[in-house]
């Protein structure tokens, strides 16, 4: 028979509530600083990272190398594709619209981020979403700063609290 609740929940209720509360607080701080509506893809990626950090603190994917390295790669790929989208106008071809340009470069940003993460051993899936978000939304140095501060804050919280957290998954 399928259980509705995780078997570990009964024994670790406090950890479940505390770790999920930490994820909530981390996201609240990020959402206050970053315009959540105009940067939905980026905020979504940070939310996914928050899930990984606070539910799997002892897994490889939540290590600082993957969190910070993945985001640096995602930011680099997204920035390159954002500016390429503005400098290379493939929409000048008769049947291609400007929105197709953006979709094309957003897709390239995701693929490039994945490729670079895999070859540099900095795989962090949500960071590919940041690459896409930087192309689809209005790129700015402030957004980059908030992304870096947000992921550094969450990585710092994880490092500080890791001895007290358990893997919920």
Q: How would you write the pLDDT of the chain (169 residues) with one tens digit per residue?
A: 567 888 888 899 999 999 999 999 988 887 777 666 567 778 889 899 999 999 999 999 999 999 999 999 999 999 999 999 888 765 555 556 667 788 889 999 999 999 999 999 999 999 999 999 999 987 889 889 888 988 998 899 999 999 999 999 8
pLDDT score at 130: 95
**H/E element, 96:** none
pLDDT score at 7: 84
CB 55 within 8 A of CB 127: no
CA distance 37 to 133: 12
Listed by start position, the domains of the chain span 15-162
CA distance 127 to 131: 7
50: number of Cβ within 10 Å: 24
pLDDT score at 1: 55
- H helices present in the chain, as ranges: 7-11, 13-33, 40-55, 64-87, 98-120, 125-136, 141-161
Task: HSE, CB side, 13 Å, CA atoms: give it for residue 149.
Answer: 13
Q: What is the dihedral of CA 153, 155, 159, 164, to 10 degrees?
A: 90
CA distance 150 to 89: 33
Neighbouring residues of 121: CB distance < 8 A, sequence distance ≥ 6? 65, 69
pLDDT score at 55: 96
CA distance 133 to 25: 22
Structure letter (DSSP) for residue 4: S
CA distance 5 to 150: 31
């Amino acid at each position: 028979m399928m259980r509705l609740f995780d078997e570990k929940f009964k024994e670790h209720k406090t950890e479940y509530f505390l770790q999920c509360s930490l994820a909530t607080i981390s996201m609240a701080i990020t959402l206050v600083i970053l315009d959540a509506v105009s940067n939905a893809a980026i905020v979504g990626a940070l939310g996914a990272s928050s899930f990984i950090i606070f539910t799997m603190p002892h897994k490889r994917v939540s290590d600082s190398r993957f969190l910070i390295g993945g985001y640096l790669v995602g930011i680099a790929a997204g920035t390159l594709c954002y500016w390429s989208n503005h400098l290379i106008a493939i929409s000048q071809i008769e049947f291609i619209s400007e929105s197709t340009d953006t979709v094309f470069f957003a897709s390239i940003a995701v693929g490039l981020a994945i490729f670079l993460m895999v070859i540099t051993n900095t795989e962090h899936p949500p960071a590919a979403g940041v690459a896409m978000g930087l192309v689809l939304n209005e790129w700015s140095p402030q957004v980059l700063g908030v992304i870096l501060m947000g992921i550094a804050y969450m990585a710092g919280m994880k490092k500080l609290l890791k001895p007290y957290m358990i893997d919920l998954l």
